[in-house]
Structure formats: C-alpha cells, structure tokens
A = this chain, B = another copy of it.
Amino acid sequence: MVKLIKSKGIAHHSYFIEVSGRAVVVDPRRDVDVYLHLAESSEMDITHIFETHRNEDYVIGSLELACATGAEIFHGKNLDFAYGTPVSDRDKFQWGSIELEVMDTPGHTTESISLVLRDLSVSKDAQMVFTGDVIFAGETGRVDLYGPDKSQKMAGLLYDSIFNGILPLGDQVILCPAHGAGSVCGADIREQDYTTIGYERNTNPQLQCTSKEEFIKMKVAEELYTPPYFKKMEFYNQNGAPIAGRIPYFKPIPPKILKEKINNGACILDVRKPTSFAGAHIPGSLNIWRDGVPAFAGWFLNYDDPIIVVDDQIQGLDEVRQALFRLGFDNIYGYLEGGFPSWYLHAGQINSIKLWSVHQLKQKLESLKEKGEGLTENRKKFKETSEEDFFLLDVRKIDDRRKDYIQGSHHIYVGDLPQRIQEVPHDIPVVVYCDSGYKSTTACSYLKKNGYTKLSTVLGSMTAWKKASYPVVKA
C-alpha cells in the first residue's frame, strides 16, 4: 500500500510505502509526526528514507525522521551530501516480493533519482514510479536552478530522463511526483493526485514535443521565479537542517509586549484576509494571507528577525506555524495573544488601506478617460496628469501578465517588489491588482511598510474583472 501525504501550500507530495512489515518514506517533510503516526497505526517500522533530489523549496525531513526512527537515508550519488548513503542507477532494494529500483533521472537537479516499484509476485512490470521533480501531472520539472547558462544542459538531461527513462516503463505505470498543483517547482502542474505514464504521454503538453531540440527550447524559454529562501533550503538540504524534536512552541504575545518587540525589529506577519487587513492593521505589518504563507513567506521574511504572527483568531495558526517550520523559519517568536482585536482593544494605533471593487476601478478608469487624461504607465508623465490619476500596479506572475492585463497598468511581480520598489511612484495614489486581491494586498502591505501612503487593493482583481466582462489588453 502506498500512502500519499500532501503538504498544502508548498504542494508537496511525499509517500509512505508499506512493504512486507516495514515502511519506506520518499521525500519526507520536516514535521515528521505524520509518518510516525502512520508507522504506528499500520505497525510498520520505518527503515528506509529516499530523497528523490536535494529539494530547494522546503526543508527535507529525512534527518529528523531518521533521528526518530533509526532509518537509513538514501539519495542520488551525484551530489556530495553531508549525510545519508548514495545510491546508483539500477540499484535495487527488495522486501518480500516488492522491489524498488533506483533510476538516475537528472535534469531538474543533477542528482535526481526516480524509484520504480514492482511487485514481483505479480509481474516484472513496473507498477508505480516515484519521479520527484522530473515529471508532474501536466508538467515537467524546472531546469533553471543552476542558472541560465546551465538550463540548456539540464533540459537535455531532463529530456533523456523522461523519454528514455520514465516513459519506456510503460503506459500502465502509476506516476507519483513530488509536487501537486500550486508548487513553485513546476510552472503549471495539474490538480490530480495520481496520474499514469500513459495519460501523461498522451496529454502532458510538454511531452508532445517532436524532438529533443524542441523540448530543450521550450524548457529554456520558461520564466519561473526563484524566491530568495531557496538558498537556505539548498544549504539545509545538502548539509542537514537542525533537528527540532517537536514543532516549536508558539508563544502568545500580549499587545504591550508586541509593541516592544516591534521597536526591537520583530517582523509582524499579518495572515488575515485582504478585507480584514485593509480594514485595519498594525502599522508596519506585512500581510500574507494564511494560505499564501508557504508560497510567499520565503520572498519577504528573513531568518534572523523574530517573527510574530497576527491573525483574527487562534484557529488556523497552527498551519502558519507548520508552514514556517517547513521553510526553516525557526525564528518564529509567537503570535499576538487574542488576535488582532486585542490590538485595538488595547488602543493600539491602526492603519488601513483602501479596498476597491472591480466596479469602482472600472468607474475610476472611465472617469479619467472621459476627461481625456487616461492612466499612463509612463512614470515621467505623472507630474503633468490630473489629481485623479493613479498608478495601477499589476503584481501577478509574468506568465499571467503575458496573457492579458488591464490597460494602463505597470507590471512588477509581487516577489520582485523588494528589488524594484523604486519603479513605484510616491506622489500619486497606487492601486494594486493581481489575480484575486490577495497578492495585491501583500504588495500594498509591503509598500505601506516602505513609506507609501495612498494605497488601494482591488478585491477580486483580474478574476472578478473578467467575470464582470470588463476589457483587457490581450498579449
């Protein structure tokens, strides 16, 4: 029996494989209790841990799990890990009738391996394959992690791994990748827990290339983001992350202490929804809505300043702690006791940003147009424009921007704001949109923290804008 353990947010898939009274874990996450509980409830001893590759988007839990269970860790031999045992192409592990065969499948990283599962009591046919970040439902792994000059080479390796390694295993094989929809490790992974080699061969857009050259060209052209925290993950996952034991205690911080902590450089992470954050928030706080923490914390937080989380209530805070723990943010200090309401009940100062509906945005844009002034992307012209003018900022991914956008908007990906903030003017109001109104509120909070005062976030953003059938500029 194979159990898929999904980690929300980072869209990470790990696997707990039961074989003849023992368990093998593939790519464990850092909060390993889930595997320990599975081991206990199924009476299995975890004896082997496989890492399909050195992950860059989260802290791998191999050491943590090995430390708790005594299991051995295995990974590809093409990287010099500070722990674990290297395995080679065609190495086989067998327990009872179950065989797990290592297959070198470089491309995403140089040491990537896949694991082929067979039940020899049934057949020599492969039953499942654990592909790590090589191939996903509807996608293949990114090849840009070693920098642009290596992408071409990596894409070639990936082509070989897939076309000469994975696909020949047969259409009948169930394919178990290391990520699901929403991961930063593939551009456009489909929401589908299990797929098969046959289904991917037929339908995966990236497998429809007619030549290796075409595949390489396509992969090299991909534009994917690399959040700054990847560096830390790569270091941790090559050298071993600190052992935690249990997930760190999460301290409630009274409002009074919070004020002191802010003065001493703490980072206030407000995880409420755009409507709540916009309505009122603690001055200087950064907003990343709760479900966005796994994807965006790594863009804005650092590993040194104490992090204090603010939410409306305690429910759900555990997810935030878990998310930060998975990204190695062991500098979580605590959370605002009583939630945001306790801040204003203690007469704390509050800030707000404006919430615009798409209908309001439409109206403002039209009213400008009627006056013959129009919104302009050209920063230089602002000084000459009317008081009603504003800077419309699009913070979506470049891929989405390329498809369509609202006329007159300027594009900076939300994660790139720290690097490109000087492109945003200070002297006129800034109105931010994204896909839904979430990332745009994150952007607003970052701008507010950095001195911008007249800010609006567009609720519903492009999704609502299109639902309302308002016009877009198509690429």
A-side residues, CB < 8 A to B, are 1-2, 21, 33, 36, 39-41, 43-45, 68-70, 119, 122-123, 125, 127, 138, 170-174, 190-199, 201-203, 245-246, 249-252, 254, 272-276, 278-280, 312-316, 318, 334, 337-338, 340-341, 344-347, 349-350, 352, 355, 357-359, 436-437, 459-460, 463-465, 467-468
Check B467–A345 contact: CB distance below 8 A: yes
Q: For A44, list chain B residues within 8 Å (CB).
A: 252
Determine the residue in chain B with the shortest Cβ distance to A357. B350
Determine the residue in chain B with the shortest Cβ distance to A204. B122
Check B196–A196 contact: CB distance below 8 A: yes
Least CB distance from A202 to B in Å reads: 5
Partner of A246, one of B45, B68, B125, B467: B68
Least CB distance from A72 to B in Å reads: 14
Determine the residue in chain B with the shortest Cβ distance to A257. B45
Least CB distance from A451 to B in Å reads: 21
Check B318–A279 contact: CB distance below 8 A: no
Known: A40-B318, A44-B252. A464 touches B347 (CB 8 A): yes
A411 to B411 Cα, complex, angstroms: 51
Check B174–A171 contact: CB distance below 8 A: no
Known: A44-B252, A245-B246, A251-B45. A190 touches B276 (CB 8 A): no
Check A199–B344 contact: CB distance below 8 A: no
Known: A68-B246, A171-B171. A347 touches B355 (CB 8 A): no
Check B318–A355 contact: CB distance below 8 A: no
Known: A245-B245, A249-B68. A345 touches B460 (CB 8 A): yes
Which of A44, A315, A341 has the most CB atoms of chain B within a 10 A radius of its CB?
A: A341
The 10 A-B pairs of least Cβ separation, nearest first, read A172-B198, A245-B245, A279-B279, A275-B279, A171-B171, A347-B467, A123-B203, A344-B460, A172-B199, A347-B468
Check B341–A203 contact: CB distance below 8 A: no
Least CB distance from A291 to B in Å reads: 9
Known: A69-B249, A196-B196. A344 touches B40 (CB 8 A): no
